[in-house]
Structure 1
Amino acid sequence: MKTVFGPVPSRRLGRSLGIDVIPAKTCTYDCLYCESGRTTHLTVRRQTFVEPDQVMHDLEDYFGSHPHGADVLTFSSAGEPTLYEPLGCLIASIKRRFPDLPVVVLTNGSLLWDARVRQDLSAADRVVPSLDAVTPEIFQRINRPHPHLDLSILLEGLEAFGHEYRGQLHLEVMLVSGINDHSGELTAIRRVIDRLHPDRIELNTVVRPPAYADVRGLTGAEMEKALSFFPADRSQIIGRFQGSAPESQSADLESRVLELVERRPCTLAEMAASLGVPAEGLHATIQTLQKENRLLRYLFNDLEYFCSRARERDCLSAKSPCEKIMSG
């Protein structure tokens, strides 16, 4: 199992070197909007899916070849990172070895009721839990949680973490058109936020091909309207990727492109920024991969995304609203 990937273009973090310690697609939720596809192993059981020493070896190997190859180290995967049982020990080891790089954990927050999980996350520089719904009906509809997860207990865990954690606490709210974007749910989410006092609230919406059919993101105007429900001094709409290109380039561009789009669909601009290659320099590689039937293009939200063959199967099985572009 390869535990380090990217860097990938993150709309909030810049060039994010991903750390993946969870087998795809192992998660506590099966969210409608997930860009990584449908959950195939729905669980709440924490495990050591890969040894921490393997992760440290993979990080050493990457930075040996790319000494300036990332802005941040991010626990982000096609699953829920807090399902990794040795998470706290691994974060501590990473901080000792790479003290100048911030460690961020992106989590759905579903296991924060567990004091051991909260303790594991305490050493991270930033934790970004998600909070998509605070009413049971909307929670079940949008997040499709494991049956052992109770929303009221999850909210208690999130609030406990907010009081205990001393790093940067950013809260992400993913808005899906027609589900959790109405005034009632937004007002209820705001009430929870007022008890949490996060450092920042990040409003997001569906911009990449989702796991399930008929899932749509909000328009710019709708996002601005939703923003008005949240604290003006700490809330923002997450923009598209912005960040500097890496200083070095990989000779094996084809494999890096495929690795990137196997994790998530990307636009040409996102790939160029992540790989440190001018957009025009990617055309030949992309054309070759398309001719070899290893890379496909899709339209979603009027943007062109490049997807792996595995992602095509997800889209087709979900009858996704992606529109396949047949031409090369």
Structure 2
Amino acid sequence: MKYVYGPVSSKRLGQSLGVDLLPSKSCTWNCIYCQLGRTKSYVTRREEFFPKEEIFREIQEAVASRSPIDWITFVGSGETTLYKGLGWLVHETKALTTIPVAVITNGSLLSDPDVRKELLEADAVLPSFNAGSSELFERIDRPAPGFTYERHLGGLKAFRQEYTGQLWVEVMLISGLNDSPEALQDIARALREVAPDTIHLVLPTRPSTESDVHLPVDEAVSRARFILSGVATVIHPEKGAMSLRDAADIADTIASITARHPLQERELRHALDELIPDEPEEVERMVQRLLGSGRFKTLLLQDGEVYWVPSSDTRS
């Protein structure tokens, strides 16, 4: 499939069927932690990048043939709400199935009334909020010109006033940037104005192109949970288990996932162990065959974790 992939394990949404609406990388921001790499050219105008009817046909096929699916999640190789047919897709998907629908977004376009209206039928919307000041917002999210901190916060507040579903704000915690007591208090102060249902605390565990993006220490994570819990319930979910049981073609499934984000080798091996239990040698042969296909390469992070990315990925 061209637009739909998974279901894959999600830290927030269990077995999530992903729907990718954008050409890579189409974004209003150039976040330092982005797993897709740098934004070479900002995209700020909404378009129907691909025919919405083709995307919906793939959703129909996946819902009919794949299980289990806990959520249908609209995402993008960039900023999801740039897709102009998003509201139509959310509406049609809700009419198709009782599986809940989520939209993952950086929230940069929530200042647009049309965007807010298109998201109202979603069961959950997950916008980003990584900084409680204009200075830190510019350092972490690096937005396109005109996408100011005030516009971002104002859009979140306006959406909260209109939206009755679950608003789950995601805070990416980065060592030395937004994990200090002062930075966290600023975030908490701003989010009190938004009143999210929950705050999802996430860490930059996937490879970034920026050398100064590091995981916060445990003390900083605990501090963030304590300070932000004064605003809403803070969730720092464990990663779910990836499954390849329903994969028609394992290599194609892995290629579809790595095209959207790096895949932890430990997670991949666990899924292969589940698929071929008690046969470690066969699992190793399959890993080597996949790597030998020329479609993938590995990245070794400083913490010793190995990730798979497409062979065309420019990160070293």
TM (norm. structure 1) is: 0.88
Which residue of structure 2 lines up, in the alignment, with residue 223 of structure 1? 221
Q: Give ranges in structure 1 of 5+ residues lacking alignment.
A: 317-328
Q: Which segment is superposed worse, 193-202 or 272-281?
A: 272-281
Task: Say if 1:12 and 1:269 are closer, same or farther in 2 by CA, change over 3 A.
Answer: farther
Give the residue type in structure 1 aligned to 2:309: C
Which residue of structure 2 lines up, in the alignment, with residue 89 of structure 1? 88
Which residue of structure 2 lines up, in the alignment, with residue 141 of structure 1? 139
Aligned residues between the structures = 311
- How far the C-alpha of 1:290 sits from its partner, in A, is 1.8
1:57 aligns with 2:57: yes
Paired residues of 2:181 and 2:223 also in contact (CA < 8 A):
no
- How far the C-alpha of 1:69 sits from its partner, in A, is 4.1
Give the residue type in structure 1 aligned to 2:82: L
* In 2: Cα distance, 1:30 partner to 1:140 partner: 10
SS of 1:73 mapped into structure 2: strand
Which residue of structure 1 lines up, in the alignment, with residue 290 of structure 2? 289
Q: Give ranges in structure 2 of 5+ residues lacking alignment.
A: none
SS of 1:106 mapped into structure 2: strand
Provide Cα deviations, 1:272-311, integer angstroms capped at 9, x if missing partner: 6778735856433221122233322222233222222133
Of structures 1 and 2, the one with the larger relative CO (CA 8 A, separation 6+) is 1
SS of 1:289 mapped into structure 2: helix
* In 2: Cα distance, 1:151 partner to 1:232 partner: 22
Paired residues of 1:203 and 1:235 also in contact (CA < 8 A):
no
* In 1: Cα distance, 2:283 partner to 2:114 partner: 45
Provide Cα deviations, 1:71-129, integer angstroms capped at 9, x if missing partner: 1110112210110112111100110012x111000110101111111111100000011
Task: Say if 1:70 and 1:58 are closer, same or farther in 2 by CA, change over 3 A.
Answer: same
1:303 maps to which of 299, 302, 305: 305
1:79 aligns with 2:78: yes
Paired residues of 1:8 and 1:274 also in contact (CA < 8 A):
no
- 5 Å matches for 1:80-119? 80-98=79-97, 100-119=98-117
Give the residue type in structure 1 aligned to 2:57: H
Which residue of structure 2 lines up, in the alignment, with residue 250 of structure 1? 247
- How far the C-alpha of 1:244 sits from its partner, in A, is 7.8
Give the residue type in structure 2 aligned to 1:91: V
1:210 aligns with 2:212: no
Which residue of structure 2 lines up, in the alignment, with residue 122 of structure 1? 120
Paired residues of 1:26 and 1:79 also in contact (CA < 8 A):
yes
Which residue of structure 2 lines up, in the alignment, with residue 43 of structure 1? 43
Task: Say if 1:147 and 1:244 are closer, same or farther in 2 by CA, change over 3 A.
Answer: closer
Give the residue type in structure 2 aligned to 1:42: Y
* In 1: Cα distance, 2:41 partner to 2:270 partner: 32
Give the residue type in structure 2 aligned to 1:88: G
* In 2: Cα distance, 1:271 partner to 1:160 partner: 40
Paired residues of 1:162 and 1:169 also in contact (CA < 8 A):
yes
* In 2: Cα distance, 1:237 partner to 1:125 partner: 18
- How far the C-alpha of 1:235 sits from its partner, in A, is 3.3
Task: Say if 1:51 and 1:232 are closer, same or farther in 2 by CA, change over 3 A.
Answer: same
Give the residue type in structure 1 aligned to 2:95: R
| Identical amino acids, percent of aligned pairs | 35
Q: Which segment is superposed worse, 49-58 or 233-242?
A: 233-242
Which residue of structure 2 lines up, in the alignment, with residue 325 of structure 1? none
Provide Cα deviations, 1:215-270, integer angstroms capped at 9, x if missing partner: 11212332112211112584335233225847x43342122122222221122343
